[in-house]
Amino acid sequence: MESLVCIEPRQFAYKQIEKPVLTAGNAIVRIRRIGICGTDLHAFEGTQPYFSYPRILGHELAGDLVEADGAPDFMPGEAITFIPYFNCGYCIACRSGKPNCCVRIQVSGVHIDGGMVEYLSVPSYSLVHGDGLSHDELALVEPLAIGAHGVRRADVQPGENVLVVGAGPIGLGTMEFARIAGANVIALDINESRLAFCKNRLGVSHTVNALSPDVAEQLSVITNGDMPTVVIDATGSLRAINTAFAYMAHSGRYVLVGLQKGDISFSHPEFHKREATLMSSRNATRVDFEHVIASMKKGLVDPTTYITHRVGFDQIQSEFESWLDPANGVIKAIASF
């Protein structure tokens, strides 16, 4: 079968590999849609943590179930997605109900080969019913679940001022689920076209350009002097992460969804006097996937809003590098088989 392998940074190659066969406890999925995410882009650039080469990328996936062992509620031929973070089931995180941060986690397309293939074997426990959604919609459940999980980690309450730093796909999904939780959402980014997308397509009331000399003052005005009680970083930029500590309200919570390789730093007195809470948000859980699917079905989220670029599987190699250029206006690229 056909696969696309990232041989090393900035080098892809199409290769014929063996089609997977059904094994105990696993399922075979015919891949239909592949969403291109920041992890894939960073892997291509050579800046992705927890990564080694060569690797088949891809974890924002939708497909049709071919066959499965140990999945009695699933029928061959049904449209599905799956939770692409495969957990051990017995470590401290798994025993605590947090398989998303399993000690031995294997993320599809990161630690192990992913979905840029015709057929993929996945654990049967990871399958998620499509529930009538299209392949396009199902391919976007995972990235939206990342944002939904970050909002759930922050325990966002109705009426709170939530600042989302970064208006890429993960940040946009975070804004959507903060809105669904009843928050007043503020978008912060350096890209004016993405800020316009937030306002015009997602209905975000307040946008701030991070390059402005008076960001803190603008946030103070928007929040009537309180400052945001929740700050969620979705950039993975060290500078953005460090700077945003100053944007938290007293008693605020800061959630790091974005990931980078360096060490964060902040003023201990400034953090301490706020009695602030700092937390990370890694991957997502089945609860988050189900919340996303339910929100799609209720019309609270239109995932097709995010799809700006479409290619066939055989075009990924030639088009991929162009998606790194902000001038091309990529929000979400989708590849189809």
- C-alpha span between 98 and 186 (Å, rounded): 29
Long-range contacts at 193-200 (CB < 8 A, ≥ 24 apart): 193/329, 194/167, 194/168, 194/331, 195/167, 197/167, 197/172, 197/331, 198/167, 198/172
Q: What pLDDT is recorded for position 245?
A: 97
Q: Quickly state the pLDDT bin for 326 (edges 50, 70, 90).
A: confident
The pLDDT score that the predictor gives to residue 42 is: 85
Are the beta carbons of 21 and 124 closer than 8 angstroms?
no
Confidence of residue 200 (pLDDT cuts 50, 70, 90): very high
Domain 147-280, what fold?
Answer: Rossmann fold (3.40.50)
Residue 48 pLDDT exceeds 80? no
Give the model's confidence band at 236: pLDDT under 50 very low, under 70 low, under 90 confident, else very high: confident
Can you give the residue ranges of every domain in the chain?
Answer: 2-139+302-336, 147-280
pTM of the predicted model as reported, rounded to 2 decimal places = 0.95
User: Fold for domain 2-139+302-336?
Assistant: Quinone Oxidoreductase; Chain A, domain 1 (3.90.180)
pLDDT, tens digit, for every residue of 138-179?
999 999 999 999 999 999 999 999 999 999 999 999 999 999
